[in-house]
Each structure stands twice: as structure tokens, then as C-alpha cells.
Structure 1
């Protein structure tokens, strides 16, 4: 299984809008973190996680790509070593 690139070591808070489509980067190569910019096409088997939220709210998107809850920060970045 391919390993995603660690794009950051802290979540990015985003105020998401109800009904809007969001594509979370799973490969770590996007220059538009935490969102997909199509870089996965060169990174191999990755594809973005697409979500449409039912309500406006703040989401903390993962950038370390180690989360067990794809898209959302679960604190996994705290275990990363510099």
C-alpha cells in the first residue's frame, strides 16, 4: 500500500458551507492543502475524499495524512517525530 506524504503537522480549520463539495487531499502532494489540486494523478493510487456537508460548521482538516478518520484531524500528528 502506498504511503501518503505528510503535508503538515497541524490541522487546518475551515468553515465549510452546507451543500458545497469539498475534496480532501489524501496523497499529501497538493499545493492547496487540505484540499485536492489533482496532484494525486502523479502520486499513484490516491484519490480525494469527497464530502458535501449538511450544515455550515468548522471542520479541522488533517494535513499529516495519518488520521484514522479520513479528512478530519484525530490528533495523529502529535505522534510524528521531527
Structure 2
């Protein structure tokens, strides 16, 4: 399954038209999915490292609890594989747990700077993120 996730990432790079929905309203917030789990970790944890300067499209199922990797070390990005638990790495960031309301494909943030964790809100378009040398997983 790990290889499948890595291969899918490169087969489904977003196009310009994929981001049009962010520009269709004044703030775009009403179009961004909501995390069903209400947890202080979602809003109070600092941003993780920038892994990529574009989001990742992934199919998610309603009711299932997912963990969004915040440390940047997971081999199954954008989801957590538990690497942060490996003591010698001394990783402080913890995954953000989330659920979706309905089955479907969602854009998950890979720059880790979104205000709508874990869903992409277009923050990756900012100049300082686009200029950042990102490490592709």
C-alpha cells in the first residue's frame, strides 16, 4: 500500500483548474471541508515542515478517523505512519486527527501552513512557500 500511495502522488498532480474553487468566493472558507473532530490539537499545534508546495488529492471515507502527519517524516504522506514515535528522532510534532462528513476526494495540505487543518486552503500559493526548497517524500 505504501508504494501505491507514493505512485498515486505523482500520477495526480493538481492542475490550475483544480484550485479554481478557492477563488469562487470572497474568502473560500465556505468551500473548504470541515474536520468533524473538534480538538485543541487541530488549532493549537504549531505548523509542521513544508513537505511540498502543492496539495495532495486523496480519497477519504466518512466516519473513519485519519491522522495527518505534522512531523514530515512519514513514509505514507500525507497520512501519519507513526514515525514520530521513534525516540531517537526526538520529534515534537504530533499528527492531527480528522474525519470527513462524506465519502469523496479531498485536497490535503502538504505545505502544513493551512488554517483549515488538514485541508488545503490555498496558503501554498504564497510567495514564501513557493520559493521554499521542499523535500519531496
Q: TM-score, normalised by structure 2?
A: 0.53
CA deviation after TM superposition for structure 1 residue 4, in Å: 2.1
Task: Say how many residue pairs are matched.
Answer: 82
1:52 aligns with 2:99: yes
Which structure is richer in relative contact order (CA contacts within 8 A, separation 6 or more)?
Answer: 1
* RMSD after superposition: 2.0
- Contact 2:47/2:113 (8 A) holds in 1: no
Distance 1:5 1:20 in 2: 25
Distance 1:3 1:23 in 2: 15
Q: TM-score, normalised by structure 1?
A: 0.82
Q: Greater helix share, 1 or 2?
A: 2
Which structure has the larger Rg? 2
Distance 2:63 2:47 in 1: 31
Equivalent residue of 2:98, what SS?
Answer: strand
Distance 1:77 1:54 in 2: 24
Q: Greater strand share, 1 or 2?
A: 1
